[in-house]
Amino acid sequence: MIGNREEVSRLKALECLDGWGVNIVNVLAVYLYEVSPLSILRRLVRSLFWVPYIDKKECAGSSVLVLHGCKGKKRKDYDSLVGVFRQRSAEKTDYVEVVDKHKWQAIFLVACNFPGLFFLLRKSGVSVSRSVVLAAYYARFVGFGRELVDLLAKYDSLVTFCDAQPYDNFAAQMANTLGKNTYTLQHGQYRYVDDAANPDNEAILNFVSDKLLCWGGKTVDEFVRAGYDVSRFEIVGWLRDSKFQNEAQCKQYSDVPRVNFGVLFSGENSKSINFDLLRMANTLSNSLNCSYVVRMHPDNCREEYEGYMGAGFSGFSEESAADFFSKFKFTISYATGAVFIALENECPCFVYKDDDLPVVFDDERLTFSTALGLVAKLESDFNCSEVLGLYLSPGTQRIELMKNDL
């Protein structure tokens, strides 16, 4: 629809505010990078027949509400992260999930709310065509908002899974306007990428909560580089049941491997990099006389990559990340938080460095630019715990939200 961050940022600045003071463009930001007519059509159809639904899982009278707005993505790692935060929170928390629910009546809700939203967007300076799409996307949020405002009134603080995502962003903005304390969790290694068409940038650009509960100093540096004040970040450590949280473990790595290695794909926002990794893997396989196994991202389509596998390819892995990494002498990847799971499992994970590699991953101990360069690097010692410590604070087993604000 728009496809680049500069135009999305311009639309955000128009401050198209709904009746609750929520900026419509911020809520929909990650959708606005879709440029394929088919993708836009699918989104419109979904907006007409599905509505956000709040599933009150655990509401027992706490002053802190945790809202998981990405439950519909069906990612076990996302669910685990929310669970770990709740376990480590010093204060007991209530918990709700937001999921899409199919309702034929949703089209009438959209029809009723569309005109007002369309004219609001036009009045703010949005073009006619974009106003049509944005109003259609957003109309289904109105009923969700009525339910949410009543729910938030019962709490002092809101913690969202990721406030760059639509449902979490909507809830965080609404909580802000109601004067609540708002926090959001870090769920990956956030990084600012040069590709203006990559929606991953919104993890940083669409940060609307009071504070980000983040993994370590590298994340803070990335947000400060983008212009945020350092006071908005609280380092709580890796929100994962991990060996690193309890005890740093070190393994020296010095032998050139003669057994299998792993290839870790990124999501479709970095699709071209996955093909680069395969080319590197094919060369490495020949040079080292070994085979490789590919672990795909949940968003990848296997059929699109199968024709690029070389003779050293020995299959796809569908096991957990921890099980995957524990089997290999090393892995290759791009800019992804899964690198840390590899290091935690004492598997050196090397990051391919192209011209657009985000600064946060540009460390000479991690990166390689050519297959031959990596072969040479494999001859050196690699301390997994030392590199892991650059990105992840050991954190605390009890996370204290700002008591003076509660």
DSSP codes joined into one string, 197-264: T-GGGHHHHT--SSEEEESSHHHHHHHHHTT--GGGEEE----S--HHHH--------SPP-S-EEEE
Q: How many CB atoms lie within 10 A of CB 194?
A: 11
CA torsion angle for 43, 44, 49, 55 (degrees, to 10)?
40
pLDDT confidence of 395, banded at 50, 70, 90? low
pLDDT surpasses 90 at 265: yes
- Of 167-181, 207-221, 246-260, 374-388, the one with minimum mean pLDDT is 246-260
Residue 404, pLDDT above cutoff 60: no
- Band of pLDDT at residue 251, cut at 50, 70 and 90: very low
Tens digits of residue pLDDT in 208-225: 999 999 999 999 999 999
CB contact at 8 A, 281 and 263? yes
The structure tokens listed for 247 are 């005890």
**For all residues of the chain together, what is the average pLDDT?**
89
Cα distance between residue 87 and residue 239, in whole Å: 10
Q: What is the pLDDT of residue 327?
A: 87
Among residues 369, 321, 326, 363, the alpha carbon closest in space to that of 348 is found at: 326
Q: What percentage of the chain has pLDDT greater than the value 70? A: 93
Chain CA centroid to CA 138, Å: 22
Q: Which residues pair with 351 in a beta bridge?
A: 333, 367
* CA pair distance 223, 233, nearest whole angstrom: 9
Q: CATH says 261-382 is which class? A: alpha beta
Cross-strand pairs, 342: none
Q: What is the pLDDT of residue 400?
A: 86
What φ, ψ does residue 145 adopt, rounded to 5°?
-65, -40
CA distance 182 to 116: 29
- Domain range annotation of the chain: 5-243+397-405, 261-382
pLDDT digits (tens, 9 = 90+) for 2-56: 778 899 999 999 999 999 999 999 999 999 998 888 989 999 999 999 999 999 8
For residue 208, give the nearest of 29, 3, 10 by alpha carbon. 29
From residue 295, alpha-carbon distances to 132, 207, 211, 302, 373 in Å are: 40, 30, 33, 10, 23
- CATH code of 5-243+397-405, in short, is 3.40.50
> DSSP 3-state assignment of 185?
strand
Residue 199 has pLDDT above 80, yes or no: yes
> Which residue, among 129, 78, 162, 15, has the nearest Cα to 171 in the 3D structure?
162
With CA atoms as reference, report the closest residue to 68 among 59, 79, 53.
79
Give the pLDDT of residue 245: 43
